[in-house]
Amino acid sequence: MSQTRPSSIREIATKLGVSTATVSNALRGTGRVSSALAAQIRVEADRLGYVPDHAARALRTGKSNTIGLLVPNIGQPLFPAFAQAVERAAKRRGLAVLIGDSQGDPQQQDFEIRTMIARGVDALIVIPTRGTTIAPADVPVPVAVIDSAATVGNIAASDHREGGRLIAHHLLEIGHDRLLILAGPENSLVACERVEGMREVFRHAGVEPALRYSDATFEAGSALGRELDLRHFTACAAAYDALAIGFAIAVKDRGCSIPEDMSLTGFDDLMWAQIVSPPLTTVRQDLETVANHALAFVAGETDTSRIFPTELVLRQSTARPSAFAKGGRHAE
Amino acid sequence: MSQTRPSSIREIATKLGVSTATVSNALRGTGRVSSALAAQIRVEADRLGYVPDHAARALRTGKSNTIGLLVPNIGQPLFPAFAQAVERAAKRRGLAVLIGDSQGDPQQQDFEIRTMIARGVDALIVIPTRGTTIAPADVPVPVAVIDSAATVGNIAASDHREGGRLIAHHLLEIGHDRLLILAGPENSLVACERVEGMREVFRHAGVEPALRYSDATFEAGSALGRELDLRHFTACAAAYDALAIGFAIAVKDRGCSIPEDMSLTGFDDLMWAQIVSPPLTTVRQDLETVANHALAFVAGETDTSRIFPTELVLRQSTARPSAFAKGGRHAE
DNA sequence: CTGTTAGCGCGTTCAG
DNA sequence: CTGAACGCGCTAACAG
């Protein structure tokens, strides 16, 4: 389909009657090459459309300028956003990103890690799946784990616990005291942090919320919204937007309207959160900053683990409990 | 961070007192190696945790077993789904996927293509951005363009036009005759195909729908939903789910309820389509099949361009027009 | 200072 | 089954 095959450093060298070493040095600004000659070389390289062979360079230097990013499930809307943030941060450093999807399966995760290592990635950024732990010692390249402050080996994460506190404070502040927490998967440290943050604050206020565990999916939220007895609660705090959104749709079908009959909060500020009706009060992570720190770590620019602040996003899914709702007799 | 550095083919060779060529042959099943020796070699390789150096292999063979996937904007929910489909298809063939995001910018797209070539991808799959054209001749590797039947050089695509027809037939069938089409970007061939499919059918039925162009975003749909005079229409067909969803939220705020006052359709069957209220009647693409054909093409398994069928997904956003709505006097 | 020589890295491949 | 060249860019050691 094309003619543009070769064009190597040797071609430039012979064409200009110099050595390949000089060409290599000129093109990369290393060693000593007179600027006049260097300029000539660059011009010739351009003219020939020379592009260094990546494999050859990688072979010699042992660096592929590629990092692997492992996400638990690219189908869940938070992770494409993460991937984008990582790609932007990587591009700034001249790195390419190989994306792998563990599809929620720890074995698949191991497989992906091995594959990526075999492909010569210089570093890995891993968002672990289902509470697994990656021992960076098992892996011959730097690994940045992005999960939660509670995750062993975590390098960068949002402050999920603080996010939970923000939600809880907000709900208390507007007068809620009978609470349901959709806690997400029991084995997820991220979910656990979020929930613990909420509970801390509630407990401190003498409120003991009810807890329900489930998957972090829309469907699980929807199922809970259909099954639970809503009369006991004035507000529901979900550990994930998807959960909250599924819940919202389901309870709406039962005649429970948000926020009049019940306030509802999510977590993550997915694009959906502003789209659903009513728009969801939630917590936003600063993915860009988290991604950037993870990259700085694997690039060796820092060796500290960092937790980044989150932000409460107030929308229309939360309101003061109505006297009616407080009476515990809303539509059922 | 680790000890597991080397372990090369040579190490195995000396350890077993054979040549590297033999090891290479044994490990890949090529050439003639006695099966006894081959077994021994495999055992030793295992024991040493040998993994072939990807760069060295790529250098020698000229194949990196990596393909590049270029999407217009990974932030738009259809493209992660696409990326997933491509990754699955690639994995079946033992290929890794390098993802690039042109961010809606043709220049960025060119840059990404060059970068990927320089990285030695064996092939490219490109979903073009904003009506651009990629001349495969410019690129020294096979390129599969995924866009629409109307795109020059298109290799795999859904039958967007037929999808448009399905929508239009459905709307006619349930009795709509005053139609608004949210046509998406004027320069998108995909959008154009979808809209033309609809218009064909409407025209044939003597119906001339109104057309509005805009971005393919939620926000654009929302803006249109706020501005347009709804009284003229009994149904609205959007060329993208995002557009439809934005529109739905906006018109709901104006007291227009779907589908009672106005039917609404989308296109793509994003995950959102079933989440919004009411769930959206839309058209589903078979991404898996499209991705698979694109991979088969770049793998040289086929040299034909193919267009794949789409499927109408009926949900609750469409209904027969009410007499009231037909009278053109619904809430405004 | 400027430039060259030569060998390396590692799996593959082909004539022996 | 072996020996040795090969692909291509990098980089010490060396020479002008």
B31 CB and strand C closer than 7 A: yes
CA distance A241 to A275: 12
Residue B201 and residue A273: Cα distance in Å, rounded?
A: 36
Q: Are strands A263-265 and A235-238 parallel, antiparallel or unpaired?
A: parallel
| H-helix segments, chain B | 9-16, 20-28, 35-47, 54-61, 78-92, 106-118, 160-173, 189-204, 218-227, 241-253, 271-275, 287-298, 323-326
Strands B96-101 and A311-313 come out as unpaired
pLDDT at B62: 87
Q: Is the pLDDT of residue A298 over 90?
A: yes
CA distance A215 to B259: 32
For residue A115, which residues of chain B lie inside 8 Å, CB to CB?
96
Highest mean pLDDT: which range of A25-39, A87-101, A185-199, B268-282: A185-199
Within 8 A of B116 by CB-CB distance, chain A residues are: 96
Whether B101 and A84 lie within 8 Å, measured CB to CB: yes
- Find the DSSP H helices in A96-174: 106-118, 160-173
Burial (CB count within 10 angstroms: exposed 0-12, middle 13-18, buried 19+), residue B285: buried
Q: Is A275 on the interface with B (CB under 8 A)?
A: yes
DSSP 8-state code for residue A279: P
List Cβ neighbours of B47 (8 Å cut-off, separation of 6 or more).
none
Amino acid B327: pLDDT:
45
User: Distance between CA B298 and CA B155 in Å, rounded?
Assistant: 10
Using a 7 Å CB cutoff, list residues 35-94 of B near strand C. Answer: 52-53, 56-57, 59-61
Give the integer Cα–Cα distance in Å for B174 and B189: 28
Interface check for A219 against chain B (CB to CB < 8 A): the answer is no
In this prediction, residue A149 carries a pLDDT of: 94
Q: Tell me, yes or no, if A150 comes closer than 8 A to chain B by beta carbon.
A: no
CB atoms within 10 A of CB B105: 16
- pLDDT mean over A301-326: 89
A125/A38 Cα distance (integer angstroms): 38
Q: What is the mean pLDDT of residues A212-227?
A: 94
Predicted local confidence at residue B110, as pLDDT: 87
Q: What is the pLDDT of residues A228-261, one digit of tens each?
A: 999 889 999 999 999 999 999 899 889 899 999 9
Contact B55 A120 (CB under 8 A): yes
- HEC string of A287-329 equals HHHHHHHHHHHHCCCCCCCEEECCEEECCCCCCCCCHHHHCCC
User: What share of chain A has pLDDT > 90, as a percent?
Assistant: 57
pLDDT confidence of residue B3 = 43
**Is any Cβ of chain A less than 8 angstroms from the Cβ of B6?**
no
The predicted structure's pLDDT at residue A328: 44
The four Cα atoms B287, B165, B133, B137 give a dihedral, to 10 degrees, of 70
Other Cβ atoms closer than 10 A to A94: 8
pLDDT digits (tens, 9 = 90+) for A261-275: 999 999 999 988 988
CA distance B200 to chain A (A): 32
Distance from the Cα of A226 to chain B's closest Cα (Å) equals: 15
- Determine the Cα–Cα distance for residues B279 and A84; give it in Å rounded to an integer: 28
- Percent of chain A residues past pLDDT 70, beyond the cut: 94
Protein residues contacting strand D, judged by Cβ under 7 Å: A 6, 8-10, 20-21, 24-25, 27-28, 30-31, 50, 52-53, 56-57, 59-61; B 17-22, 25, 31-34, 36-38, 56, 59-60
Interchain contact, A272 vs B275, CB within 8 Å: yes
Banded pLDDT at A111 (limits 50, 70, 90): confident
B27 CB and strand C closer than 7 A: yes
Share the mean pLDDT of chain A. Answer: 89
Q: Which residue is nearest to nucleotide C6 (CA to C1')?
A: A21
Q: Is A48 on the interface with B (CB under 8 A)?
A: no
State which amino acid sits at residue B137. A
Nearest by CB to residue A58, choosing from B55, B77, B117, is: B55
Using the structure, give the distance in angstroms from the CA atom of B14 to the C1' atom of C16, rounded to a whole number: 21
Of residues A73 and A71, the one with the higher pLDDT is A71
pLDDT at position A1: 43
For A146, the enclosing helix (H) or strand (E) is: strand A143-146
Q: According to the model, what pLDDT value does residue B6 have?
A: 65
Q: How far is B26 from chain A (nearest CA, A)?
A: 19
Quote helix, strand, coil % in chain B, to nearest 5: 45, 15, 40
Q: What is the pLDDT of residue A137?
A: 66
Q: What is the pLDDT of residues B274-327, one digit of tens each?
A: 888 889 999 999 999 999 999 999 988 999 999 999 999 999 999 999 865 444
Tell me what pLDDT residue A6 has. Answer: 64
Interchain proximity A140–B218, CB inside 8 Å: no
Q: Is the pLDDT of residue A2 over 70?
A: no
Interface A–B counts its CB contacts (< 8 A) at 138
pLDDT at B50: 87
Q: Cα–Cα distance between A40 and A20 in angstroms, integer?
A: 14
pLDDT of residue A323: 65
Which residues of B, range 120-139, sit inside 8 Å of A by Cβ? 120, 136-139
- Find the CB nearest B84 among A64, A101, A140: A101
Chain B CA closest to residue A139:
B2
pLDDT at A227 over 90: yes
Residue A330 has pLDDT above 60, yes or no: no
Element (H, E) at A222: helix A218-227
- In strand C, which positions have an atom below 7 A from any protein CB? 1-14
Low-confidence ranges of chain B (pLDDT < 70): 1-6, 131, 135-137, 323-332
pLDDT for A15: 87
Distance CA B242, CA B250 (A): 12
Q: Which two tokens stand for residue A297?
A: 């770590």
Q: How far is CA A172 from the centre of its chain?
A: 29
Please tell me the pTM assigned to this model: 0.85
